[in-house]
Structure 1
Amino acid sequence: MNDKVKVAIIGPGNIGTDLMIKVMRNGRHLEMGAMVGVDPQSDGLARAQRLGVATTAEGLDGLLKLDVFKDIDIVFDATSASAHRRHDEVLQAHGVQVIDLTPAAIGPYVIPAINLEAENAANMNMVTCGGQATIPIVAAVSSVAKVHYAEIVAAISSRSAGPGTRANIDEFTETTRHAIEKLGGATRGKAIIVLNPAEPPLIMRDTVFVLCEAADMHAIEESIVKMVDRVQAYVPGYRLKQKVQFEPVPPETPLNIPGLGPRHGLKVSVFLEVEGAAHYLPSYAGNLDIMTSAALACGDMMARRRLAAGVARGHKETV
């Protein structure tokens, strides 16, 4: 017999709808309770209704009015960084666990391959899609050698970027940069996102450039490959596009890092692609898949903790 807790998703856009499908198909300790939006005509709300999930088009206030809210243990917020601040304040007052898929970064950054089990906060921030894809690589290099600088470029199909993603470009770059330093271990980080308008849509591609202290190249490559395997455990479409590339940077010709000055060592270049599971948008939308897969892993862990502690508000047992 498996205990499950009810969850709600705020934001029935691309990310929220993909996450709903993942919860219903793959959630080990999660059960859909409600889908929340503000547009009565949204495809996500219509799909949730067809699947028998309670819905409201009155936003967070509508969720509080639903009968099922008393049983909701976890709320995933897939709206915007600005909206999330109010959502978190209200939900915390009701003792609800919040998992933040916006770049608001109120709670600690969480990337399953790095620190899933280490964090236990009332608000867990899933960084960004680009961060989920690239920061594990920075962390893999940091486990072998000190990283002076890490720069990531996340290129996603324009068709996979909904209004929430487009409204949060500035927050994306800042949150990802901070997480590169906090979780990746880089002294200084930089993040760039590219919305590619190509037709047919292109699969998500990510590039990671790292300048680290001189170290054993084989050890770095081995660490990166092991990290890719860890991410693949919950995002099967995540993979290296080609072998890791290395370029020594000698002391006599150092690279000038803004804010740090001249640095030498070893330049490491890693090229990734993320193929989506096509639960909602087609497989080119790997940015959806890696974000929602990470959120699902976080939600399952938090549900397991709440059940073990006996604090779940309205879980039920299913055979």
Structure 2
Amino acid sequence: MAKVKCAIIGSGNIGTDLMIKIMRTSKNLEMGAMVGIDPASDGLARAARLKVPTTHEGIDGLRRMPEYEDIQVVFDATSAKAHLHNDALLRADGKKVIDLTPAAIGPFTIPAINGDANIDEPNVNMVTCGGQATIPMVYAVKRASKRVIWGEIVASISSKSAGPGTRANIDEFTETTSKAIEVLGGAEHGKAIIILNPAEPPLIMRDTVFTLSQGGDPAAIEASVLEMVATVQKYVPGYRLKQKVQFEVIGDNAPVRIPGVGLCSGLKTTIMLEVEGAAHYLPAYAGNLDIMTSAALVTADHWAAKVSSKEAA
């Protein structure tokens, strides 16, 4: 079957890593264009060396390219604000949109949780890098419990792996990830924190997940967490637990105060993760890039397989 042509808007860290992934590993996608706004960007230069058509004139330049007509799916790796503009134009032109910004126009999608449930939507949102890494763990606790009152995540990434787009999206990151902790993770209340660590040498992506649940057994929760880790590893091999899952019983005699909820008791679960990248573009410490682009690629690849099958029929 013929591959489906795609374009990437955003020639920074995320967009460049995604381009290399598509060219090296995708079964159903073919690069049709790389789009940026800085003619001197490394991403555009790499694309040109790889014989990928490029433009430094943003989405307007993409829409003027002769290759645009054959492009069926567009990945947006810019910023939440820019995506609002880009999405309107792309969907008006009948293009499938995979959103790697925290704009959250389309439905939240994390392959390990809701798989292909949203792939036929015109716009699919990949939440955030921190969300892709941590929300599967909140969901793992939820499916082994009757209730998750609180889900909180702390994502720590190397400053070197955070480009201008990521830095411009900090507020949107916390808002979108917090919402997705509730919508996809199943927590009644969610909170997200991101830390850009300037340490040298750069530190690998680390994530900590805290939940307060009720009606769950520690052994069952741990088994659910381990099963979810294995599921994520199918598309992000460098995803792993940093140490054994930790539990603490919060009794009625010493409840904790949950913001916006009040005094609560239950089972506190602490999950510590490490995400090592595949080093397709930035070194292996940039697991935040790898999990985001891997999730987007899996989602788009499955959609492209459906499109190719229909066209072949």
Tell me the TM-score normalized by structure 1.
0.96
Structure 1 residue 160, shift from structure 2 partner: 0.4
Residue pairs, 1:114-263, within 5 angstroms: 114-119=113-118, 120-145=120-145, 146-263=147-264
Is 1:73 aligned to residue 86 of structure 2?
A: no
Structure 1 residue 252, shift from structure 2 partner: 1.4
Is 1:26 aligned to residue 25 of structure 2?
A: yes
Residues of 2 paired with 1:218 and 1:36: CA distance? 48
Residues of 1 paired with 2:278 and 2:87: CA distance? 29
Q: Match for 2:115: what amino acid?
A: L
Q: % of aligned pairs identical?
A: 66
Residues of 2 paired with 1:17 and 1:311: CA distance? 30
Could you list the runs of 4 or more consecutive aligned residues of structure 1 that deviate by over 6 angstroms after TM superposition?
none
After superposition, what is the alpha-carbon deviation per residue over 1:27-62, rounded to whole angstroms, capped at 9, x for unaligned?
110000000001110000000000000000010010
Q: Match for 1:74: what amino acid?
A: V
Residues of 1 paired with 2:267 and 2:157: CA distance? 28
Structure 1 residue 116, shift from structure 2 partner: 1.9
Structure 1 residue 311, shift from structure 2 partner: 10
Partner of 1:90: 89
Residues of 2 paired with 1:143 and 1:310: CA distance? 38
Tell me the TM-score normalized by structure 2.
0.98
SS at match of 1:195: strand
RMSD across aligned C-alpha pairs, in angstroms? 1.1
SS at match of 2:195: strand
Structure 1 residue 15, shift from structure 2 partner: 0.2
Partner of 2:101: 102
Alignment coverage as a number of residue pairs: 311
Structure 2 unaligned blocks of 5 or more: none
Partner of 1:316: none
Is 1:304 aligned to residue 313 of structure 2?
A: no
Structure 1 residue 305, shift from structure 2 partner: 2.3
Residues of 1 paired with 2:30 and 2:215: CA distance? 48
Structure 1 residue 308, shift from structure 2 partner: 3.1
Structure 1 residue 259, shift from structure 2 partner: 1.0
Structure 1 residue 255, shift from structure 2 partner: 1.1
Q: Match for 1:126: what amino acid?
A: M
Is 1:3 aligned to residue 2 of structure 2?
A: yes
Q: Match for 1:63: what amino acid?
A: L
Structure 1 unaligned blocks of 5 or more: 313-319
Q: Match for 1:130: what amino acid?
A: G
Partner of 1:37: 36
SS at match of 1:3: coil
Residues of 1 paired with 2:92 and 2:229: CA distance? 38
Q: Match for 2:62: what amino acid?
A: L
SS at match of 1:247: strand
Partner of 1:317: none
SS at match of 1:117: coil
Residues of 2 paired with 1:309 and 1:83: CA distance? 32
Q: Match for 2:101: what amino acid?
A: T
